[in-house]
Structure 1
Amino acid sequence: MTVERVGPPPRAGERETLRAYLDFHRATLAAKCEGLGDEDLRRRSMPPSTLTLLGLVRHMAEVERAWFRRTIGGEDVPLVWSADGDFQTAYDASGATRGEAFAAWQEEIGHSRRIEASVESLDTTVRAPRWGEDVSVRMILLHVVTEYARHNGHADFLREGVDGTVGV
């Protein structure tokens, strides 16, 4: 199955553009993992780092859950792999499988889309416990886009280290 990445529209409103960039970066991470089995997805970059493609997927599931369900949606749900609030825990993919990580990530993306669509305005503010202040939904969307962009850069190097694939 080929991951379809649709670039953001060149002329669109702010919300549509933010949604498109977020979906583009989600698809980029999926593309970086495409065609790899569990072993390759768990391959570490280089000692002492424990960073893996599967760890990035798990981490981004936590990011989606934390920002959309917990912060914007106000849901009282625990993090999946980072029970103590340490998002680094999700990076440990030593016993993880593609199936469980991708299922959790896709489920969180579905919740994120539903929650974001239910917010009336990007100017809506919510309490961001991690930052200790109220922030706009716009700020959260931008933060999550930049989180994906940063980690997709890591995914570039990880994928190249697995099988030499570049430019995805």
Structure 2
Amino acid sequence: MTKPVVRQELGRDPDVTLEELARAAGVVRRTLFGHFPGRQALLGALADEAAESLGAALESGAWPEESAERAALARIVFAFWPVGDRCRLLPAPARRDLGVERVSEIPAPARAAATAIPERGRRDGVFHTRLPPAVLSAGLEAMTLALLEEVNSAALKDDGADTTSRT
């Protein structure tokens, strides 16, 4: 069972059944049920993979403390975009089957990193102090998710470069 097939089918129909997923993947139902006893377990595995991917993207970025905060913020969005793009069809069915709280835990490492950048920027006088860093981070997260939803609807075609850079 390939995860891209599962993500594609969830994007096509968030209510897709495990039987339909097995058929789309070209495997017998028993194969899928052998790995995932139910839909919640399958979505949980996809959520875990998304969380691991975000963590890996965060680690690979290795943004140095002295880097320019604006560039660091753009780099973090650019680093997370491929993970978000790969998992962009997951949030809607995951919220329903795993719960909002579980889905909210997935980007926690990214949220912490994205909050640290405005904290440094405020301290260094680069970012405005009117909004708390956690609010700025939440806005960035919401904007990224909204942009990914636009990719889902085909209103936006973007590999992240246009989203994260100024031209």
TM-score, normalised on structure 1?
0.29
For the pair shown, which has the larger CA radius of gyration, 1 or 2? Answer: 2
TM-score, normalised on structure 2?
0.29
Comparing both structures, which one devotes a greater share of its residues to helix?
2
